[in-house]
Amino acid sequence: MEAGIAGFGFLCTAIGAVLSIAYTVFGIYTIIDAATKEPSEGNDKIIWILVILFAFGIGPLIYWFVRRPRRIEQYGQ
């Protein structure tokens, strides 16, 4: 019975590691997207990069679902 519990713990750890790596890659992608595609007018570009960096838990998701669609609608990129 103990082997089954240990196996489950390893599985949870492995899934957590994969999700953490995937979210980190997503965060890096959003930083690159903001740095390369945000317009250079005003401070929007630097503000969004700082939001993504300093609110890393939720920042990439806010950028992806709030700002990115608006930017694509306004600027087409």
Report how many domains make up the chain.
1
- Band (pLDDT 50/70/90 cuts) for residue 2 is low
- Give me the pLDDT at residue 6, please: 66
Residue range(s) defining the domain that contains residue 34: 2-75
CB atoms within 10 A of CB 48: 23
- Give me the pLDDT at residue 15, please: 93
Whether residue 3 has pLDDT greater than 60: no
- Give me the pLDDT at residue 44, please: 86
Q: Could you read off the pLDDT of 36-73 as tens digits, one per residue?
A: 988 888 888 999 999 999 998 899 999 999 998 888 88
Q: Could you read off the pLDDT of 8-39 as tens digits, one per residue?
A: 788 888 999 999 999 999 999 999 999 998 88
